[in-house]
Amino acid sequence: MKGGRWMLVPGLAAGTCLLALPPGASAEVSDADFNALKETVRKLSDQVQSLTQTNLLVQQQHEKDLQQLKELQAKLAQTQQTAADAEQKSAAAVEAQSQPPLRAPLDEATVNHNFQILGDAEVQYVNTDHQNGSFVLADFAPIFLYRGGDNILFEAGFDATLQNNAPNSPGYTTSFNLSFAQLDYVMNDYMTLCAGELLLPLGTYAERNAGWLNKFPDDPLAVDALLPESGVGAELRGAVPFGDAGKFLNYSAFLVNGPGSADGTGNAGSLDLGGNVGVRSDGVVANLHNAPAGGGRLGLFVPFKPRYDLELGISGEVSEWDNAGSHLWAAGVLDAALHLGPNFEAKWQYMLTRYGSDDLGLIRQQGWYAQVSYKLAGLNLELPGINNLELVGRYDNLANGYDSGSGIFYGARRYSIGTIYYLTSALLLEGDYEFINSRDASLPSTQLILQISYGF
């Protein structure tokens, strides 16, 4: 249609030229015909001009249409994209609603806090001479640990034991004692601050005597009789390595409330090693005597091969003990531990105490124990079960110990032999037989103790 219009324009121009030829070149034309033809040409020229203008308008309209088309196409693409996005979001929302929220994986090695329960449990069968043999829940001793960050630890240990009620009172009593509860703050590589009810570093026994750690079911006589196991106070401790073979020196220095007097007097039998916790029975917060106790331990550890090592320590504590503060109590302890290979261990500890009294003057007490053990795995015998067996022996004595039951001072010597069978590295069957020689009638002369203990 558009092309036809363009063909019409040259045709009309050619016709106009022919009509404009001189009269001599064609036949004679009258004026009337000429004017008519002229009028016709004028009309045709007007028509051509009108058509040209129309064509221009049509072209402009066409360009506008093209522009609108492009804009519509762009809008369509945008709308399609929006629709696709909406569809995608909708699908994601549906999926999120149908699945549990994603959790970031936990890096176990770097978690900033952790709560844990460790501990041990022991059940015994005890047969003492002149007594009926009996099963005993010797101890259930959980330890709660809470670590906050890299340098802070709270730890608390408990002991649960059972005991019959008094004669003519049926049933039994469950004792649940707090053996220690302390907050540890590692201040730097060489110093840790501990505060709370502390296991006292008088020798190493108090800190390392859990049932499954101790190779005998009971404690050495002098440890129980002469030394406080714990005290309420604060302690600085740390270790300084030297050399390149794992040697180190370690230290502990503590201030605690110290021993007290059971009845407030300075009589010798009133010494109470563990009863001064800072809050009196009437609720008043006060030490039972004027000054706190001070003490500490200095230790040397020398490994000369893996599993071959020697540890030596010297420790002590001094304190007032009676309410008037007129008498001092002091303790000195030497300890040693030796390992010769994975199968042989020897331990030794010497304890010496002195304290003044109103009625008996200066009381001197001392005692020591030596203990050796050997795992039969060292013999390389191919016999069933023998590699899990360990033989143990101990001698311990006590001079001038005080028996609060009978109110007398006594001496005692004890020889113990026994075995340990390791069902696993943490589940032990222990058995030992003890010979006791003492003036204290409350102590048996022989005793058999069988124990199953588990460390967890």
Partner 1 sequence: MNTFKPLRARVQVTFAVLGAVLTGGGLAFTLCAAEPLSNSQAANTNSAPAQTNSATNPVPSVVKPQLTGAELYSIHCNRCHAERYPTERTAAQWKTIMLHMQVRANLPVKQARLILQYLQDNSGR
Which of 78, 165, 177, 437 is in the footprint of partner 1 by CB under 8 A? 437
Q: For residue 451, state whether it binds partner 1 (rule: CB under 8 A).
A: no
Please state the closest distance from residue 209 (CB atom) to partner 1, in A: 10
Q: Which of 138, 333, 337, 399 binds partner 1 (CB under 8 A)?
A: 337
Residue 118 sits in the site that holds partner 1 (CB under 8 A)? yes
If one asks whether residue 377 binds partner 1 (CB under 8 A), the answer comes out as yes
Q: Which of residues 277-316 bind partner 1 (CB under 8 A)?
A: 299, 302-311
Contact stretch for partner 1 (CB under 8 A) within 6-14, 68-76, 248-256, 399-407: 248-256
- Which residues from 213-232 bind partner 1, rule CB under 8 A? 213
Residue ranges in 127-156 that form contacts with partner 1 under rule CB under 8 A: 143, 145-147, 150, 153, 155
Smallest distance, Å, CB 223 to partner 1? 16
Binding mask 73-112 for partner 1 (x = CB under 8 A): -----------------------------------xx-x-
Q: Is 260 helix (H, G, I), strand (E, B) or coil?
A: strand
Of 53, 82, 114, 442, the one binding partner 1 by CB under 8 A? 114
Residue identified by tokens 């505060």 is: 195
Nearest approach, Cβ of residue 399 and partner 1 (Å): 14
∠ CA 369-373-379 to the nearest 5 degrees?
Answer: 160
Distance of alpha carbon 364 from alpha carbon 272, whole angstroms: 16
Pairwise CA distance, residues 335 & 201, whole Å = 11
Regarding 26 and contact with partner 1 (CB under 8 A), the answer is no
Q: Is 381 in the site for partner 1 (CB under 8 A)?
A: no
Write the DSSP symbol of residue 406: T
What's the first-to-final CA gap in the chain, in angstroms? 101
Phi-psi label, residue 98: left if phi above 0, alpha if psi -120 to 50, beta otherwise: alpha
Told to check if 454 binds partner 1 by CB under 8 A, we report no
CB of 222 to partner 1, least distance (A): 15
Contact range with partner 1 by CB under 8 A, out of 185-193, 216-224, 279-287, 319-327:
185-193
d(CA 406, CA 344): 40
Would you tell me the crossing angle of helices 2-19 and 31-98 to the nearest 10 degrees?
160
Euclidean distance between CA atoms 196 and 190, whole angstroms: 20
* Site mask for partner 1 (CB under 8 A), range 392-431, x = bound: -x-x-----------------x-x------x-xxx-----
Distances 178 to 8, 99, 120, 226, 231 between C-alpha atoms, Å: 118, 47, 14, 20, 11
Choose between 327 and 414: whose C-beta lies nearer to partner 1: 414
Tell me which residue has tokens 């936990």: 106
Which residue in the set 45, 81, 290, 445 belongs to the binding site for partner 1 (CB under 8 A)?
445
Which letter does DSSP use for residue 153 in this model? E
Residue whose tokens read 């106790």 = 293
Q: Is the dihedral of CA 358, 359, 364, 370 positive or negative?
A: negative
